[in-house]
Amino acid sequence: MIAAEIGYERAKTIEEALSLLSQDVDAKLLSGGHSLVPLMKLRLAQPSTLIDVSKIPELRTLDVESERITIGAGVRYFELLGDTRLEELMPVIAQATSVIADPQVRHRGTIGGAAVHADPTSDLAAVFLALEARFHIRSAAGRRIVPIEDWYLAPLTSALERDEMLVAVEFPRPIPRRQAYVKFSHPASGYALAGVAAIMDLTQHGLVQGAGIAVTGAATMPFRASTAEAWLQGRPLNAESVAMAAQVGADDGTYDADDGQYPAVYRKNLARVMLARALEKLAPQ
Amino acid sequence: MSRKLWGENVARREDIRLVQGQGQFTDDRVLPGMLYAAILRSPHAHAKIRQIDVASAQKMPGVIKVYTGSMVSGHLGTIPTAWIPPDSQLKMVPHPPLAVDRVRYVGEAVALVVAQDPYQAEEALYRILVDYEPLPAISDPVQALESSSPRLHEEAPENVALHWKVGTDTDEVFSGADVVVRQTFRQQRLIPNPMEPRSALVQYNSATGDMTAWLTTQNPHIHRFLMSGILGIPEHKLRVIAQDVGGGFGSKIACYADEVLTAFAARDLMRPVKWTESRSEHFVATTHGRDHYDEVELAGTKAGRVLAVRVKTYANMGAYLSTAGPGVPTILFGLIVNGAYDIAQASAEVYGVFTNTTPVDAYRGAGRPEATFLIERIMDVYAREIGMDPVELRRINLIKKEQFPYTNPFGIVYDSGDYHQTLDLALKTLDYASLRQEREALRRQHKYMGVGFSTYVEMCGLGPSQVAGAVGFQGGLWESATIRLHPTGKATVLTGASPHGQGEETTFGQIVADRLGIPLEDIDVVHGDTDRVSMGWGTYGSRSTAVGGGALAKAADRIVEKAKIIAAHMLEVPVGAVQYDAGQFYPEGSRERAVGIQDVTLQAHLGWNLPEGVEPGMEVSAFYDPTNFTYPFGTHVAVVSVDPDTGEVKLLRYLAVDDCGPAINPMIVEGQVHGGVVQGVGQALYEGAVYDGDGQLVSGSFMDYAMPKARFFPRLETQRTETPSPHNPLGVKGVGETGTIASTPAVVNAVMDALSSFGVVNLDMPLTPPKVWQAIQTSMAKGGPS
């Protein structure tokens, strides 16, 4: 389990990283390394050069004061947990981040790595979907912003092109007050067998307003439970509406991932159960 | 005799070096001029090797030499089996260290690369071209017996490695019994996963012919014995060292091809060579555990009296017979299938089967967890059949205090016990009556709680040697101890046990400190070095304290005996008039005149004025062979909840009431119970090796293979009773495996109790959420809970 020989460059700026990336088609960006390095050890990934972007200050910014919340792609999970402003405005990020793997991983892994690796069982995938994240991308040729609906192309494939770099994840405001992330973990890997992020406001009459609900882990791809969101709009949040929303929400996923131990029928049930549990957490006590 | 340290929670002395990163594990060692080995392993479960091309690997940077099977086969013996159960029709099949023309499991060694650094060695593996002709593979032991299944070995035309029967004729009892219950159980394959993977570092001196091998072994002297034969190195020229070993759980008993190959390369190249297994290699190349299909039948009365039990087992041996492999599903399993119950008739029939899988050997408990699981599970099935509380059923059938020593239907003599006492203590601790009430109340709210029991006994503390011989173990099971008192009165204690996490450097220190009245800090316990310790049989089968401790007590008593003669001379009184207590010798009634054992030792070393006929020096060795195994027992109780929506099982409480005789260090005993319980619960709920139809290990990493984790557990509750064993001078019984042996059925019984209203009687382990959920769904489809 030793990676093949590789080149290593440490970039000091985004521009330098992008320039290096444009010169070598087999180069890969390295930040936390918690997805890439294991793949390299298994020789499932064999980049020619690793361009280390972990020391680029611009990628480590956490901007929660301005109009929108923008998180640098190199911000590590534990830094997301430690920011009180962020925790106050978007507790769902802290809730999801706090159950990623273990403390060692949380001190290395980055929000940008989670986004570009596009693991279909990633906890943050549900958060990105529910909060309608926007991905700020740069390349030697320019900049673009990819909305969440265009981000996940296939398992382990995001919209990021080979010569591009994710520099930040943006969450548009306003953010609903009620937020929850619930997770059912795989007993071995700790990844989500089903993770649900849900956000919404309730009107003064207790009616659902602007729900964002998404599921990770259970289906082939992380998905937004749009049918559940639409169904809940303007309805009170009670046992019946939760059960119905969970039912229709689970139907929004495609469950062809059958790994034997966790058959699709079970995964879909788990999506439904965890949807219900996330919504129950948002209901008025 | 005053016993200052016996029974005290002395902090583990070995932990200081371990937590400071100063342990000396095999892979920590670096020798001048050392080379690194890497092993190419078969990616096929079954294939012919047409050709191996090493030319391009040989040219890789840093590569010193590449070895294949044909290059080493004339120079090395085969990997032996050291346990041949009598009347088992055991098929000895050759197991070459490197495959020559055929591979039989994924992970089998095919080539060895030695290079200047480990990166170069691994890189070269990718350049070795092996032309395989894949053959059909079989991984399931029952399917392997079908005539259409692929065959592994010419010597075993039906894939049967062994066929062994034991016990009494039970047919008559079964045909006349009021109640007969039958159940088939699957005890899945487990992958040991100690923290430290295996490693070997070998140095050879071509001038003297001396070889030193640092190995991750639980039994360095057994390794020396076996490897000297395989390598053709005289035993006195081979030194095996295993100073710090990071856990074994049975997986470091076996003599492995990897170790032999590393030694071979070191001798061939005349350079030190190191090989260290990666975790991924560990999954396929280190022995696995369990893997049974069992058919169990129990005959009894309607009133709950068990009359007979019989077991038919198909045990997966893997592709080759590992060192102790054949003894595990036979001797260590079949002879105790009646468990802790007074059952007049019992029998066991075992087929050991070759399959295209990693060889199976001992794994914590080794045979006894499998036996305990069967009897404890079938007791619950029986209880449900006759409508009796499983606790009441156990109370009726447990061997009674006055029946000891108790001879079981296989002629095994259980030493001592008060089984009912542990059951009563468990019930009292838990408040069982209110637990049952709570369970009923929750059930009315469609919440499912279950309580499961395991009133186990096991046989451990392996010796005596006479029994080892009778059951076909190709070695002795006694233990040695040497106590060397230096002129300043400091002590070096050498033991043939080879602890690798069990804390005997501390407990053995406690034994000697008490017996000799020497402070603990003046005592060092040395183990795991065949040049320092003359002989020993190692650590497995919960034997170290029962047998190694016995040897130590004997040696200490001999030291006192000799010191007493010298003390009498110093005190100028007859030997018969000298009293001894806690390191002090004094004339009867005159304690103020006492001379200390450390002063006596100085005189013994100086030799200026010794009594006539007394040799100078103060060193004694003892070889102790116990009279029988020891039989720890107890009651374990699991309380679980089952979430009907997800199928998730949560352990709410876990209580272990154990009796391992007197505890020398209760904290260490408790630690052993904790670790054991967690491993047993791992089997019940989480772990399980999965092979696909092609014989590929699907669960080959921690991404798929679920080890138990701290967050899965509540605070474990432990209690003890103390019934000394008459089988050794300390009265102690083994405790290293009890937790694993007892906990698996306790947890499964608890889950089945929780699922009882769904009509579920049995599910195969591990009881994963989808499996439990599916069982509930099936029940719901038939109308739901009763």
User: What single-letter DSSP state applies at residue A176?
Assistant: P
Q: Which of A187, A189, A263 sits opposite B686 (nearest CB)?
A: A187
> B38 vs chain A: nearest CA distance in angstroms?
10
**Which residue's structure tokens are 């082939």?**
A220
Residue B2: pLDDT above 50?
A: no
Q: Is B778 on the interface with A (CB under 8 A)?
A: no
Percent of chain A with pLDDT over 70: 99
* Binary contact (A189, B703; C-beta < 8 A): yes
> Which of B703, B705, B711, B777 has the most A C-beta neighbours within 10 Å, making it the best mutation to test the interface with A?
B703
CB atoms A2 and B768 under 8 Å? no
- pLDDT band (50, 70, 90) for residue B1: very low
Closest-CA residue of B relative to A1 is: B278
How many contacts does A have with B, using Cβ atoms within 8 A? 52
Lowest mean pLDDT among A167-181, B73-87, B313-327, B748-762: A167-181
Chain segment A93-134, per-residue pLDDT in tens: 999 999 999 999 999 999 999 999 999 999 999 999 999 999
CATH fold, domain B289-462+628-781, is Aldehyde Oxidoreductase; domain 4 (3.30.365)
Q: How far apart are the first and last CA of chain A?
A: 51
Chain A interface test: which of B278, B646, B650 (most A C-beta within 10 Å): B646
Distance CA A39, CA B58 (A): 27
Residue-wise pLDDT tens digits, B275-312: 999 999 999 999 999 999 999 999 999 999 999 999 99
Following CA atoms B509, B511, B516, B521 in sequence, which dihedral angle do they give, to the nearest 10 degrees?
20
Tokens describing residue B296: 């169990």
How many Å apart are CA A213 and CA A127, to the nearest integer?
9
pLDDT at residue A139 is higher than 80: yes
Q: Residue B136: is its pLDDT beyond 90?
A: yes
Can you read off the two tokens belonging to residue B387? 């409508």
Contacting residues of B for A280, CB less than 8 Å apart: none
Domain at B17-25+34-135+193-285, CATH homologous superfamily: Aldehyde oxidase/xanthine dehydrogenase, a/b hammerhead (3.90.1170.50)
> What is the pLDDT averaged over residues A178-183?
97
Do B584 and B570 meet the contact criterion of CB atoms below 8 Å apart? no
How far apart are alpha carbons B247 and B251 in whole angstroms?
Answer: 9
Summarised one tens digit per residue, pLDDT across range B318-375 is 999 999 999 999 999 999 999 999 999 999 999 999 999 999 999 999 999 999 999 9
pLDDT in tens, B35-84: 999 999 999 999 999 999 999 999 999 999 999 999 999 999 999 999 99
CB B275 within 8 A of CB B37: yes
Question: Which residue has better confidence, B728 or A127?
Answer: A127
Query: Which residue in chain A has the smallest CA separation from B692?
Result: A260
Q: Which residues on chain A are in Cβ contact (under 8 Å) with B704?
A: 188-189
User: What are the residues facing B53 on neighbouring strands?
Assistant: B129
Pairing type for strands B289-300 and B238-241 reads unpaired
Q: What is the ipTM of this complex?
A: 0.95
Domain spans in chain B, listed from the N-terminal domain onward: 17-25+34-135+193-285, 289-462+628-781, 478-624
> Class of the B478-624 domain?
alpha beta
- Please state whether A33 falls in left (phi above 0), alpha (psi between -120 and 50) or beta: left
Question: Hey, do B289-462+628-781 and B478-624 end up sharing a CATH topology, with the first three levels equal?
Answer: yes
Q: What is the pLDDT of residue A82?
A: 84
